[in-house]
């Protein structure tokens, strides 16, 4: 994926496929995989049951399905464990435990997504700790909008929904077509789009990176003094590369272009737990080095942005969702 260096902000969220004569031909996906069947059960019978079942029973179903999920992801867990051991400087046994717990927490996060579809879901959100709210208020007082800098932690969706109930409406930015190596054609063509539709129902205050007006909507929110949540650790993006947790990482430079042009405040946010008990932590505003060009701005600020999220991940590795997406 490649983005033109002179791209304007209206295109900052869009990536342009790059031609690569040495690229391998696309792999033909199987019609149906075990991962597709799990998503099929989730999107139909389980989604309907979630509208009436108590939360504890939904979590019980997740616990019963966890061994199947762990088996389906056994190869990705093996790769993740090597990465975790290196990034977190831990033992192979502990790394395997972290990889498994990350998957389990992702299952709970997915089930919480069904709870957010309920009309009474706001009453089900149990925030145990809201720390550093003064940092957010200070950033809002800056008057130019706030970017909440986040990693892909399991509690992000429920935390943003909870903040909205407290008067802090946050525009969240999502990838409507995330990479899933375990899916087949059924998952890619039918189940993944349906899952994205449900996510939008659960949290309508969002924009997709695939929307042509993605950057425009973000800039409007910031110029109105509002809040935007950006997950900086999304992979398989565009041309900007930088080491992250010890491996090469690519991200969308549009994030930095938006911050540069809007002069908004940037506040790190950390969300941990599940809907039955979660924590939200805001850290102090980051110092931003201004620059006249996107390339200079990225060089000056990207290491600082990455360092914040890396520290959060190493501190709470079981809560980060992307270990098994390497």
Task: Report the Cα 127 to chain-centroid distance in Å.
Answer: 20
Task: Report the Cα 86 to chain-centroid distance in Å.
Answer: 22
Q: What percentage of residues in the chain have a pLDDT greater than 90?
A: 74
pLDDT band at 235 (very low <50, low <70, confident <90, very high): low
Kindly tell me the number of DSSP H helices and DSSP E strands found in the chain. 12, 9
Query: DSSP of 238-259, one letter per residue?
Result: -SEEEEETTEEEEE-THHHHHH
pLDDT band at 3 (very low <50, low <70, confident <90, very high): very low
Q: How far is Cα 323 from Cα 84, in angstroms, rounded to an integer?
A: 7
CA angle 200, 103, 46 (to 5 degrees): 50
Average pLDDT, the chain: 88
pTM, two decimals, is 0.87
> Does residue 223 surpass a pLDDT of 80?
yes
Kind and range of the H or E run holding 66:
helix 55-72
Q: Give residue-wise pLDDT tens across range 145-194.
A: 999 999 999 999 999 999 999 999 999 998 888 888 889 999 999 999 99
> Residues for the chain: how many in total?
326
Q: How far is Cα 16 from Cα 239, in angstroms, rounded to an integer?
A: 10
**Domain ranges within the chain, ordered by starting residue:** 9-325
Q: Give residue-wise pLDDT tens across range 82-128.
A: 999 999 999 999 999 999 999 999 999 999 999 999 989 999 999 99
Q: Give residue-wise pLDDT tens across range 182-213.
A: 899 999 999 999 999 998 999 999 999 889 99
Strands 206-208 and 265-274: unpaired
């Amino acid at each position: 994926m490649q983005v033109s260096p002179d791209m304007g902000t209206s295109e900052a969220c869009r990536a342009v496929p790059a031609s690569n004569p040495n690229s391998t031909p696309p792999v033909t996906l199987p019609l149906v995989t075990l991962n597709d069947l799990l998503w099929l059960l989730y999107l139909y019978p389980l989604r309907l049951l979630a509208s009436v079942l108590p939360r504890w029973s939904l979590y019980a179903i997740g616990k019963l399905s966890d061994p199947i999920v762990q088996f389906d992801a056994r190869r990705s867990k093996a790769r993740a464990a090597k990465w975790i051991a290196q990034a977190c400087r831990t033992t192979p046994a502990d790394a395997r435990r972290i990889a498994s717990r990350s998957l389990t927490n992702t299952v709970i996060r997915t089930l919480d997504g069904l709870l957010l579809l309920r009309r009474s879901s706001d009453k089900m959100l149990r925030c145990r700790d809201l720390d550093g709210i003064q940092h957010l208020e200070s950033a809002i007082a800056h008057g130019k909008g706030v970017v909440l800098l986040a990693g892909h932690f399991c509690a992000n969706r429920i935390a943003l929904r909870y903040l909205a109930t407290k008067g802090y409406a946050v525009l969240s930015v999502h990838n409507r077509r995330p990479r899933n190596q375990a899916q087949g054609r059924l998952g890619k063509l039918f189940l993944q789009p349906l899952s994205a539709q449900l996510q939008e129902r659960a949290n309508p205050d969002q924009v997709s990176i695939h929307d042509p007006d993605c950057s425009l909507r973000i800039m409007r929110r910031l110029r109105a003094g509002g809040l935007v949540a950006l997950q900086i650790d999304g992979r398989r993006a565009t041309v900007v590369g930088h080491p992250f947790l010890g491996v090469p990482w690519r991200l969308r430079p549009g994030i930095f272009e938006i911050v540069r042009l809007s002069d908004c405040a940037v506040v790190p946010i950390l969300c941990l737990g599940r809907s039955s008990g979660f924590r939200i932590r805001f850290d102090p505003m980051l110092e931003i080095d201004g620059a006249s060009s996107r390339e200079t701005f990225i060089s000056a600020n990207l290491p600082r942005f990455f360092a914040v999220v890396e520290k959060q991940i190493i501190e709470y590795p079981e809560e980060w969702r992307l270990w098994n997406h390497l």
